[in-house]
Structure 1
């Protein structure tokens, strides 16, 4: 196979999927799967989601559940034994995952002898390969290198399952004028994760930090109830997202699934962030624009 084909993101993601499928009954780590795709872990998790529409964690969980369903029908093994073979920590954890996929419990599924696979192996098709090119083919970023930036604002601890980001912004915006050393470069939305979060521990209930902030000249005056944050400098690719928030996923899919794999860059392990400036008219405005800053190396 030509080297260019081996280097393509389609080939790499297909390799990762094959590795997952061959190891559904074995311990899987995100580091090992990313290694199979020849990407850094940080880069791989975003590319995988952009291409398949699923996080790596969800894909593995759903495939394990779907394959285990065959054994519920074809064997009389205890449910707990099947759960353990597919790397679930307990029968309770297996039951929760099973219900999320099949909308019924393993016991009821076995009793009714259902015979269908709810979540099949993902196969890259020509449509999948081209889907990220259609809407944003001309979206070329600006590449710049910045020094560390000082931010002051509010932060919350939130999760995907109980997202309180909008409440944070509602609290921050009326108080933004209290920040006297504001450089007036826009409003920053930053998300930070605990370094200890792994493939095995990340779920929709994992807590992470979300920031609503502005850039400042110094940290000498931090209003009560606000905090300071030093945003790491480095090289960034800056994209412009145009339109309401419900089209944001298309922008991110293009960035991570199309532009990045063909750019010659890889993601760096710094924070993604967004800047909302004068052209931002609110999350639902069709003509809103915001800058998406992607850390690269």
Structure 2
């Protein structure tokens, strides 16, 4: 096995065990190499220091937990293997320039400091330049799906709800022999759990809507608050959408001089000709959409 495969497998194992003890000795034992040889190999293949990478990935997960859950800061520190809240606070401030308490409390979310996982064996996604768009407050008509999820299953749940909608909505459209609208919108947002016994969970609300009230009898009015958005174009398979979102949040946005505000994420789907020609809606293999994130520009 070559060095890239060795390190790639090790990174996957690290990602699954960020909440477990990950001393250099423990990681070296897992790899089967001496810690000195492993650290040299990791630096050669990735350009990063092994211990620093593990710490940055733990702090990135901790940052997401601070913004997306109600879990106490001390519990988050212990979850990601910091020996005290004070140690966690010092490390967190070095990476994000603010304390964990401030990071959670701020209305705006500064994505600078989030560290993406290293993916050596995946084709790197090249995103087109994002565009800024000012959306007006607007009424739509659609259906909202709800699901509770924890931080580790958040993106997968979002994907499941998106798939559920397209199956349900397109089936109804074709059964009623309707023409698909030029644009289909989705709005997703997270609501922190108010259940003290489930502070790790959040409620994911995924609404799918169009500009006319003609989906079904279950349609309800959905109001988009509008404002400034950063929009990324995506054309690709549904299966690759997760990689696309990870690249947007962990690689693209932290390099821009923007902060995220608390509002719904908007997906705008276009070009449905390929869908209308399908004999079975599960055959959809290309999504064409703008993925729009609510932001405040600091320029």
Normalization by structure 2: what TM-score?
0.51
C-alpha displacement at 1:185, in angstroms?
Answer: 4.7
Structure 2 portions without partners, runs of 5+ = 1-52, 64-76, 276-281
Query: In 1, Cα distance between the equivalents of 2:263 and 2:291?
Result: 14
Query: In 1, Cα distance between the equivalents of 2:193 and 2:256?
Result: 29
Aligned match of 2:207: 211
Aligned match of 1:187: 184
Query: In 1, Cα distance between the equivalents of 2:271 and 2:142?
Result: 19
Aligned match of 1:242: 235
Residues 170 and 47 (structure 1), Cα distance of their counterparts in 2 relative to 1, 3 Å cut: farther
Q: How does 1:212-227 map to 2 (within 5 A)?
A: 212-216=208-212, 224-227=217-220
Secondary structure (helix, strand or coil) at the match of 1:247 reads: helix
Aligned match of 1:151: 140
Residues 227 and 263 (structure 1), Cα distance of their counterparts in 2 relative to 1, 3 Å cut: same
C-alpha displacement at 1:243, in angstroms?
Answer: 1.0
Cα contact 1:241–1:289 (8 A) shared by 2: yes
C-alpha displacement at 1:169, in angstroms?
Answer: 3.4
Residues 262 and 198 (structure 1), Cα distance of their counterparts in 2 relative to 1, 3 Å cut: farther
C-alpha displacement at 1:45, in angstroms?
Answer: 7.8
Q: How does 1:94-105 map to 2 (within 5 A)?
A: none
Q: How does 1:243-262 map to 2 (within 5 A)?
A: 243-262=236-255
Query: In 2, Cα distance between the equivalents of 1:174 and 1:22?
Result: 47
Structure 1 portions without partners, runs of 5+ = 1-9, 54-126
After superposition, give the CA deviation of every residue in 1:38-92 in whole Å (9 maximum; x if it has no partner).
86587468974xx345xxxxxxxxxxxxxxxxxxxxxxxxxxxxxxxxxxxxxxx
CA RMSD of aligned residues (A): 4.7
Cα contact 1:132–1:258 (8 A) shared by 2: no
Secondary structure (helix, strand or coil) at the match of 1:257 reads: helix
Query: In 2, Cα distance between the equivalents of 1:131 and 1:265?
Result: 30
C-alpha displacement at 1:286, in angstroms?
Answer: 5.2
Normalization by structure 1: what TM-score?
0.51
How many residues align? The count is 201
Q: How does 1:1-297 map to 2 (within 5 A)?
A: 16=59, 20=77, 23-26=82-85, 35-36=98-99, 43=109, 48=114, 51-53=115-117, 134-136=124-126, 138-160=127-149, 163=160, 165-175=162-172, 184-196=181-193, 201-203=199-201, 206-216=202-212, 224-278=217-271, 281=274, 287-297=286-296
C-alpha displacement at 1:249, in angstroms?
Answer: 2.2
